[in-house]
């Protein structure tokens, strides 16, 4: 492609924080010292955690599967060193909200024996390639850790594959160094991805502050002879490496809100991920290591290390001679979006691109902040074109509705707004809090919805049971009456007794039928119009909610998206069905009488007994309280009176029942 | 090893609130220098008096509200408010004008509404409006005659100070009305040519005000370059005023002409420093365009049909009223959305 035809776009907003990248690019990627043990978390990817298939005491080789993928959105986990499994337990893992996860601890045995998969090549079938990518435990190495194979399973037609080599976060140079040193691997992986996706063109976006990487990649592309791959040098501006932003820079298109890039025919992959794809396919190597940038002024050496997953970060810090006195924070990721680690013993995971160990002077901790002066500087830098200031006010006042109106969910938490805010307001912290609260509220809402539905179902069932009992009672009474009539008839006509029992049997059968009839009328087909309507509305509301959640999930690259999509489809179907039912609804010709709740004699008797027992108990308590001069006595006295009333009422009911029963029997 | 915990982003930009406020303050310096040069020391006294009283008021409020005093004084917002008010006052007004206006701005307009960031009205302009309504004589007659007027010279530093503090009478010859005012009052009986013939008009105060306007514009462009304000508000103010005066004041024999509207009064300081007050203006870029245009139109209307010599203050205050509404109807289109969400409606849930 010639220089003239290359066009790139710009995204709105963005900032230019100090890059601080040169510190860690001074030396080539070195291999990290072999750790004494590794702690391999089973949830290094988004989605459901892997299931362990080894036990304590097992000997494992490097690359051996130690936990299997569990479900569609999941990835297997491999042993990253050769050694013995010594523990399978919950450990704290690097995560923005301090999660723990099941981890497998492996004690190093010294030698490094590999268990490799058979090598494949570019000519292997798509299916085999995707399968390999899944087997190798690949997950996005750039950020969220989305299982890679799922991106390749998209049903959309993919025109463009974008390889993200922007690495816009300050300080981080892992991708930069990888492109410089392993350009061929990156391009090999790119070609594999391109083949699987059947993408017409590949755009590799690299920020112009990485001339060496650009040169290396350009050379590798030229060497590969591939005409459809082109390198796009983009201006340095944070956050150009955000997926949505990079897509806009390279294609001029915006990913629709709530949609996935694949809906535009685009798939985005990080350079680190495609390099890992090449390793997995061409060498049969599962993902057991990655390049990590170690940087920050508290470190003696700032560099990039090739680190086995699960290596405790403290090991790395030791290797690069951390100055404990100067160390203030440990940040996983960069200074814009990284999160602080609670301690240095957490393991390196698939998404650990950088460990930043700044001194206090280097990245001063935020302190007292001013009020928002509404200067609007934040708005000028927001890459999502949001109004961060408004989001802040509404987050502060917990006005979820306004937050929705202002599309808080479109915030990518890039931190550009907080970076420029002259009042130094920790804006992103407010947004995270608000997002969390909203999510909680939604969950609660759902819960209460479910509870309501359960409650209604229970009410229905109770009414039905009552109706059944009533029908039974009637049937019994009828049978008895008939029996009597038969008897009296028998006296005159002197019929044998057999016929009596036959009649009784018939009556019983009739009664049974009546019961089932009445049961079926109060059953499913007899939903009233209101019920149907409610059902329909419920279904629609649910579908809407699910859609909102799906959008959210998609935005956050949540692997749940796929599952949510399915359930959304189902919900929509349900809503349609309900609508249909409602439309077809005709008032049943003879509307079933709403079942009256009539208590049987036994029930009444039981009720009376219970009331009496309670009364006795309370009386005993009352006496005791009186003796001890307990202040409760007064209250007890009152409840005693009430209980007495109840007992009376129950008795009266029972009496009248007996009367009516006997009347009925008499007639 | 104890590691401190913090929320991202960990990197912070260079600019903090006091830097913003003091940069804006610094950007007014060319204008202040011109004012002093052409109209005398009175401006300096006004500015200093206003600032002193503002800081004292701010301190007292902070003591009452039990807030860290220095932290809030340092933010420079009271300083800037007072500075802008001082710049807007007539140079031969007595000292208590600046004092009263400044205390009112800080105490009533800013803090009674909840302090920095919460005040719906521009404190400096609200203070100015109060003074204009309460003390119309001092506020309209105490403007200075420029030093460049033939046969005229400015009073010296101490002479001005004496007059300022009330130890000496203000000599009539030192004061005159503003050019906008003079033109507006006299054009009914004189023609444009006659007015222009007056030596004090041509060689006198028009150049004086012209230089002040240029100085403010330079300061404003500096602020845009530094990214502290955006171009939207000033451009909208100036463009709308230009269009309004071009459309309705093309006949300079009847109405105040375009060039006087643009360069003769408080237009430049208004467009670059007053209308851009972040707290009380609209927020989005689109909103700022509407907001600024509103100020320009209202300024023209009030100047032409109202009784006040200059109208920026009222125009700004009126538009302060509208700012929340403008904000609601001018939300930008968010990334990945088909169109923007306007007002309170819940459309665009694509
Ligand atoms: S940058 Fe900070 S102070 Fe300025 S409007 Fe945004 S949140 Fe408010
Ligand atoms: S953190 Fe959110 S609101 Fe702030 S600039 Fe980034 S996307 Fe915009």
Q: What are the pLDDT digits (tens) for B218-261?
A: 999 999 998 889 999 999 999 999 999 888 877 777 777 888 88
Please compute Rg for chain A using Cα positions: 36
Same domain, A181 and A125: yes
Please state, in angstroms and rounded to a whole number, the distance separating the CA atoms of residues B271 and B295: 9
Touching check for B278 and chain A: CB below 8 Å?
A: yes
Residue B336 resides in a domain: no
Range of the domain at B164: 15-177
Nearest to B280 by CA among B123, B129, B130, B122: B122
Other beta carbons less than 10 A from residue A109's beta carbon: 14
Provide the chain B residues 111-170 that lie in CB contact (below 8 A) with chain A: 115-118
Residue A318 resides in a domain: no
Task: List per-block mean pLDDT (blocks of 10 residues) for chain A, which spans 667 residues.
Answer: 64 90 91 93 86 92 91 88 93 83 91 90 90 90 80 87 93 94 94 92 94 94 90 92 92 88 91 93 93 93 94 93 88 92 91 92 80 87 91 89 85 92 90 87 81 82 86 82 68 49 58 49 52 70 70 58 64 68 55 48 73 74 64 68 74 64 46
- Contact predicate A171/A21, CB 8 Å: yes
Touching check for A528 and chain B: CB below 8 Å?
A: no
Please state, in angstroms and rounded to a whole number, the distance separating the CA atoms of residues A122 and A133: 13
Residue A289 resides in a domain: no
Same domain, A569 and A619: no
Q: Please, what is the Cα angle at B236 between B234 and B241, to 5 degrees?
A: 100
Q: How many helices (H) and strands (E) does chain B have?
A: 18, 0
Please state, in angstroms and rounded to a whole number, the distance separating the CA atoms of residues B96 and B101: 8
How much is the pLDDT for B281? Answer: 87
**Contact partners, residue A302, CB within 8 Å, separation at least 6:** A23, A24, A26, A294, A295, A296, A320
Range of the domain at A441: 373-473
Residue A319 resides in a domain: no
Pocket residue to mutate for ligand 1, from A13, A15, A375, most atoms within 8 A of Cβ = A375
Residue B3 resides in a domain: no
Return the beta strands (E) in A323-365 as ranges.
Answer: 331-332, 339-340, 354-356
How much is the pLDDT for A61? Answer: 93
The position carrying tokens 């940069």 is B23
Looking at the 3D structure of chain B, how many domains does it have?
2
Measure B125 CA to nearest chain A CA, in Å. Answer: 17
Same domain, B66 and B196: no
The secondary structure element, H or E, covering residue A129 is helix A126-135
Other beta carbons less than 10 A from residue A24's beta carbon: 25
Exposed/middle/buried for residue A630 (C-beta within 10 Å: 0-12, 13-18, 19+) = middle
Same domain, A143 and A267: yes
Residue B159: both structure tokens together:
């002479």
Same domain, A605 and A640: yes
Nearest to A79 by CA among A108, A120, A47, A101: A108
Residue A454 resides in a domain: yes
- Band (B128; pLDDT cuts 50, 70, 90): very high
How much is the pLDDT for B309? Answer: 67
pTM equals 0.72
Q: Which of A537, A554, A583 is the last residue of a domain?
A: A583
Residue whose Cα lies nearest atom 7 of ligand 2: it is A411
Same domain, B267 and B149: no
Same domain, B169 and B198: no
Residue A443: both structure tokens together:
């969950």
Residue A135 resides in a domain: yes
**Contact partners, residue B6, CB within 8 Å, separation at least 6:** A329, A340, A365, A366
Q: Please, what is the Cα angle at B198 between B196 and B199, to 5 degrees?
A: 110
Return the beta strands (E) in B78-143 as ranges.
Answer: none
Q: Please, what is the Cα angle at B100 between B94 and B106, to 5 degrees?
A: 140
3-state secondary structure of B343: coil
Same domain, A242 and A134: yes
Return the beta strands (E) in A42-82 as ranges.
Answer: 51-52, 59-60, 65-68, 77-78
Residue A417: both structure tokens together:
């707004």
Cα atoms in the 13 Å half-sphere on the side-chain side of A658 = 9
Same domain, B77 and B198: no
A183-197 and A126-135 helices, crossing angle to 10°? 130
Residue A114 resides in a domain: no
Looking at the 3D structure of chain A, how many domains does it have?
4
Q: Are B7 and A428 inside 8 Å of each other by CB? A: yes
**pLDDT per residue as tens digits for the range B50-105:** 999 999 999 999 888 888 888 788 888 899 999 999 999 998 889 999 999 999 99
Distance in Å, CA B266 to ligand 1 centroid: 28
Indicate the residue of A17, A254, A390 with minimum beta-carbon distance to B11: A17
Nearest to A437 by CA among A405, A410, A406, A397: A397
- Contact predicate B320/B314, CB 8 Å: no
Same domain, B173 and B97: yes
- Contact predicate A240/A143, CB 8 Å: no
Indicate the residue of B331, B335, B338 with minimum beta-carbon distance to A384: B335
3-state secondary structure of A240: coil
Residue B4 resides in a domain: no
Question: What DSSP character marks residue A463?
Answer: H
Please state, in angstroms and rounded to a whole number, the distance separating the CA atoms of residues A415 and A461: 54
The position carrying tokens 């999160």 is A339
Residue B132: both structure tokens together:
């204009």
Please state, in angstroms and rounded to a whole number, the distance separating the CA atoms of residues A628 and A31: 80
Residue whose Cα lies nearest atom 5 of ligand 2: it is A382
A529-555 and A560-583 helices, crossing angle to 10°? 160
Residue A330: both structure tokens together:
């440990």
| B chain contacts of residue A253, beta-carbon cutoff 8 Å | none
Residue whose Cα lies nearest atom 3 of ligand 2: it is A388
Same domain, B137 and B222: no
Same domain, B142 and B254: no
Same domain, A249 and A182: yes
Please state, in angstroms and rounded to a whole number, the distance separating the CA atoms of residues A321 and A123: 46
Please state, in angstroms and rounded to a whole number, the distance separating the CA atoms of residues B40 and A282: 82
Residue range B173-179: mean pLDDT, rounded: 73
Across chain B, mean pLDDT equals 84
Atom of ligand 1 nearest to the CA of A376: 5
Q: What is the 3-state secondary structure (H, E, C) of A420-438?
A: HCCCCCCHHHHHHHHHHHH
CATH of the domain at A200: 3.40.50.11540
Please state, in angstroms and rounded to a whole number, the distance separating the CA atoms of residues A571 and A578: 10
Q: Please, what is the Cα angle at A193 between A187 and A198, to 5 degrees?
A: 120
Same domain, B216 and B274: yes
3-state secondary structure of A361: coil
Same domain, B294 and B312: yes
Same domain, A533 and A568: yes
| B chain contacts of residue A373, beta-carbon cutoff 8 Å | 17, 20, 77, 116-117, 278-279
- Contact predicate A231/A271, CB 8 Å: no
Same domain, A143 and A260: yes
- Distance, C-alpha A638 to centroid of its chain: 53
Residue B207 resides in a domain: yes
Same domain, B109 and B24: yes
Residue A76: both structure tokens together:
């297997």
| A chain contacts of residue B337, beta-carbon cutoff 8 Å | 256-257, 407, 410
Residue range B301-309: mean pLDDT, rounded: 82
- Distance, C-alpha A113 to centroid of its chain: 37
| B chain contacts of residue A329, beta-carbon cutoff 8 Å | 3-6, 10
Residue B127 resides in a domain: yes
Indicate the residue of A255, A335, A415 with minimum beta-carbon distance to B336: A255
- Contact predicate B294/B277, CB 8 Å: no
Q: Which of A284, A308, A331 is the last residue of a domain?
A: A284
Residue A25 resides in a domain: no
In sequence order, what are the beta bridge partners of A205?
A164, A232
Same domain, A147 and A223: yes
Backbone angles phi, psi at A204, to 5 degrees: -105, 115
Residue B9 resides in a domain: no
Same domain, A129 and A275: yes
Nearest to A467 by CA among A521, A416, A413, A509: A521
Same domain, B167 and B189: no
| A chain contacts of residue B331, beta-carbon cutoff 8 Å | 387, 406
Please state, in angstroms and rounded to a whole number, the distance separating the CA atoms of residues A425 and A413: 14
Measure B7 CA to nearest chain A CA, in Å. Answer: 6
In sequence order, what are the beta bridge partners of A202?
A161, A229
Distances (CA, A) of A573 to A218, A567, B282, B311, B344: 50, 10, 45, 63, 31
Question: What DSSP character marks residue B330?
Answer: -
Q: Which of B119, B150, B177 is the last residue of a domain?
A: B177
Q: Which of B159, B177, B195 is the last residue of a domain?
A: B177
In sequence order, what are the beta bridge partners of A312?
A347
Distance in Å, CA B348 to ligand 1 centroid: 26
Please state, in angstroms and rounded to a whole number, the distance separating the CA atoms of residues A13 and A11: 7
3-state secondary structure of B96: helix
Write b or e for each residue in B110-130: b if 16 or more Cβ atoms lie within 10 A of its Cβ, otherwise e: bbebebbbebebbbbbbbbbb
Same domain, A277 and A160: yes
How much is the pLDDT for B95? Answer: 92
Residue whose Cα lies nearest atom 2 of ligand 1: it is A421
Same domain, B69 and B154: yes
Please state, in angstroms and rounded to a whole number, the distance separating the CA atoms of residues A141 and A333: 12
Measure A18 CA to nearest chain B CA, in Å. Answer: 9
Residue B137 resides in a domain: yes
Question: What DSSP character marks residue A282?
Answer: I
Measure A411 CA to nearest chain B CA, in Å. Answer: 10
| Residues across chain B | 350
Q: Which of A225, A250, A284 is the last residue of a domain?
A: A284
Tell me: ipTM over 0.95.
no
Residue B342 resides in a domain: no
Q: Are A373 and B68 inside 8 Å of each other by CB? A: no
Touching check for B17 and chain A: CB below 8 Å?
A: yes
The position carrying tokens 């590691």 is B3
Exposed/middle/buried for residue A490 (C-beta within 10 Å: 0-12, 13-18, 19+) = middle
Please state, in angstroms and rounded to a whole number, the distance separating the CA atoms of residues A9 and A50: 40
Residue A340 resides in a domain: no
Touching check for B2 and chain A: CB below 8 Å?
A: no
How much is the pLDDT for A592? Answer: 41
Residue A472: both structure tokens together:
């039974």
Question: What DSSP character marks residue A238?
Answer: B
Indicate the residue of A11, A375, A385 with minimum beta-carbon distance to B20: A375
Pocket residues: Cβ below 6 A from ligand 1 = A 372-378, 388-389, 392, 420-423, 425, 427
| B chain contacts of residue A15, beta-carbon cutoff 8 Å | 13
**Contact partners, residue B96, CB within 8 Å, separation at least 6:** none
Nearest to A192 by CA among A132, A117, A281, A265: A281
> Is the Cα torsion angle A154, A160, A163, A168 positive or negative in sign?
negative
Same domain, A441 and A408: yes
Residue A655: both structure tokens together:
């009496």
Pocket residues: Cβ below 6 A from ligand 2 = A 381-384, 386, 388, 391, 411-417, 427-428
């Amino acid at each position: 492609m010639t220089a003239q035809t290359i066009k790139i776009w710009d995204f709105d907003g963005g900032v230019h924080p100090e890059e601080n990248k040169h510190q860690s690019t001074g030396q080539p990627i070195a291999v990290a010292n072999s750790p004494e043990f590794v702690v391999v978390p089973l949830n290094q990817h988004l989605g459901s955690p892997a299931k362990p298939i080894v036990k304590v005491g097992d000997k494992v080789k490097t690359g051996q599967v130690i936990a299997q993928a569990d479900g569609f959105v999941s990835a297997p986990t491999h042993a990253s060193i050769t050694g013995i499994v010594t523990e399978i337990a919950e450990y704290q893992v690097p995560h923005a909200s301090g999660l723990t996860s099941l981890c497998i601890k492996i004690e190093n045995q010294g030698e490094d024996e590999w268990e490799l998969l058979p090598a494949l090549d570019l000519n292997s079938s798509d299916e085999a390639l995707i399968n390999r990518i899944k087997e190798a435990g690949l997950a996005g190495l750039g950020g969220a850790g989305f299982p890679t194979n799922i991106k390749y399973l998209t049903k959309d037609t993919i025109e463009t594959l974008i390889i993200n080599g922007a690495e816009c976060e300050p300080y981080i140079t892992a991708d930069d160094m990888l492109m410089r040193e392993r350009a061929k691997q990156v391009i090999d992986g790119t070609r594999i991805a391109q083949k699987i996706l059947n993408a017409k063109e590949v755009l590799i976006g690299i920020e112009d502050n990485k001339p060496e990487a650009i040169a290396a990649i350009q050379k590798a592309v030229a060497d590969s002879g591939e005409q459809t791959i082109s390198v796009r040098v983009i201006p340095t501006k944070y956050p150009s490496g955000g997926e949505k932003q990079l897509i806009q820079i390279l294609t001029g298109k915006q990913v629709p809100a709530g949609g996935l890039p694949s809906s535009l025919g685009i798939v985005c992959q990080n350079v680190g991920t495609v390099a890992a794809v090449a390793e997995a396919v061409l060498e049969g190597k599962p993902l057991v290591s990655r390049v990590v940038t170690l940087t920050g002024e508290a470190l003696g050496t700032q560099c990039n290390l090739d680190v086995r997953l699960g290596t405790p970060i403290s090991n790395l810090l030791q290797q690069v001679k951390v100055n404990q006195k100067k160390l203030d924070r440990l940040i996983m990721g960069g200074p814009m979006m990284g999160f602080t680690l609670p301690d240095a013993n957490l393991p390196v995971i698939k998404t650990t691109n950088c460990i930043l160990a700044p001194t206090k002077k280097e990245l001063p901790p935020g302190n007292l902040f001013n009020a928002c002066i509404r200067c609007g500087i934040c708005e000028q830098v927001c890459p999502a074109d949001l109004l961060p200031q408004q989001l802040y006010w509404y987050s502060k006042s917990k006005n979820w509705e306004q937050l929705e109106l202002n599309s808080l969910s479109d915030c990518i938490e890039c931190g550009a707004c907080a970076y420029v805010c002259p009042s130094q307001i920790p804006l992103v912290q407010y947004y995270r809090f608000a997002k969390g609260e909203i999510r909680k509220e939604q969950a609660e809402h759902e819960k209460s919805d479910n509870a309501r539905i359960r409650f209604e179902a229970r009410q229905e069932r109770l009414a039905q049971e009552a109706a059944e009992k009533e029908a039974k009672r009637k049937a019994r009474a009828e049978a008895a009456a008939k029996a009597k009539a038969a008897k009296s008839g028998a006296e005159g006509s002197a019929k044998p007794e057999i016929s009596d029992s036959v009649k009784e049997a018939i009556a019983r059968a009739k009664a049974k039928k009546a019961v089932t009839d009445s049961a079926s009328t109060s059953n499913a087909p007899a939903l009233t119009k209101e019920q149907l309507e409610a059902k329909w509305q419920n279904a629609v509301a649910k579908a809407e909610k699910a859609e909102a959640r799906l959008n959210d999930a998609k935005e956050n690259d949540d692997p749940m998206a796929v599952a949510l999509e399915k359930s959304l489809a189902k919900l929509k179907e349900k809503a349609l069905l309900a609508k249909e039912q409602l439309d077809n609804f005709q008032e049943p010709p003879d509307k079933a009488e709403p079942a009256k709740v009539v208590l049987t004699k036994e029930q009444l008797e039981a009720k009376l007994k219970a009331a009496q027992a309670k009364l006795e108990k309370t009386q005993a308590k009352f006496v005791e309280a009186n003796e001890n001069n307990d202040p409760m006595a007064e209250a007890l006295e009152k409840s005693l009176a009430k209980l007495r009333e109840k007992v009376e009422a129950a008795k009266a009911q029972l009496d009248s029942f007996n009367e009516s029963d006997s009347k009925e029997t008499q007639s | 090893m104890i590691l401190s915990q913090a929320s991202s982003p960990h990197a912070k930009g260079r600019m903090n609130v006091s830097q913003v406020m003091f940069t804006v303050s610094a950007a007014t310096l060319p204008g202040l220098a011109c004012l002093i040069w052409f109209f005398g020391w009175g401006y300096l006294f006004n500015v200093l008096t206003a600032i002193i009283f503002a800081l004292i008021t701010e301190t007292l409020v902070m003591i009452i509200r039990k807030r860290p005093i220095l932290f809030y004084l340092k933010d420079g917002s009271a300083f800037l408010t007072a500075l802008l008010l001082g710049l807007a006052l007539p140079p031969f007004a007595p000292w208590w004008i600046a004092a009263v206006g400044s205390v009112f701005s800080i105490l009533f307009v800013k803090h009674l509404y909840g302090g920095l960031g919460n005040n719906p009205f521009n404190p400096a302009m609200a203070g100015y409006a109060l003074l204009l309504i309460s003390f119309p004589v001092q506020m309209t007659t105490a403007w200075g005659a420029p030093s460049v007027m033939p046969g005229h010279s400015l009073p010296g530093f101490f002479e001005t100070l004496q007059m300022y503090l009330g130890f000496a009478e203000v000599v009539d010859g030192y004061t005159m009305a503003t050019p906008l005012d003079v033109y507006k009052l006299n054009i009914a009986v004189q023609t444009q040519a006659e007015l222009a013939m007056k030596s004090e008009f041509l060689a006198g105060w028009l150049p004086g005000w012209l230089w002040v306007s240029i100085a403010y514009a330079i300061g404003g462009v500096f602020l845009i370059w530094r990214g502290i304000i955006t171009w939207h508000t000033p451009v909208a103010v100036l463009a709308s005023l230009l269009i309004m005066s071009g459309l309705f004041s093309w006949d300079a024999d009847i109405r105040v002409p375009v060039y006087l509207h643009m360069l003769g009064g408080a237009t430049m300081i208004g467009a670059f420093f007053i209308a851009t007050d972040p707290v009380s203006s609209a927020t989005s870029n689109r909103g700022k365009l509407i907001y600024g245009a509103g100020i320009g139109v209202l300024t023209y209307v009030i100047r032409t049909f109202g009784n006040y010599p200059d109208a920026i203050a009222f125009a700004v205050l009126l538009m302060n009223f509208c700012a929340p509404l403008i904000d609601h109807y001018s939300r930008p289109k968010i990334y990945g959305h088909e169109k923007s969400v306007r007002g309170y409606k819940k459309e665009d849930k694509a």
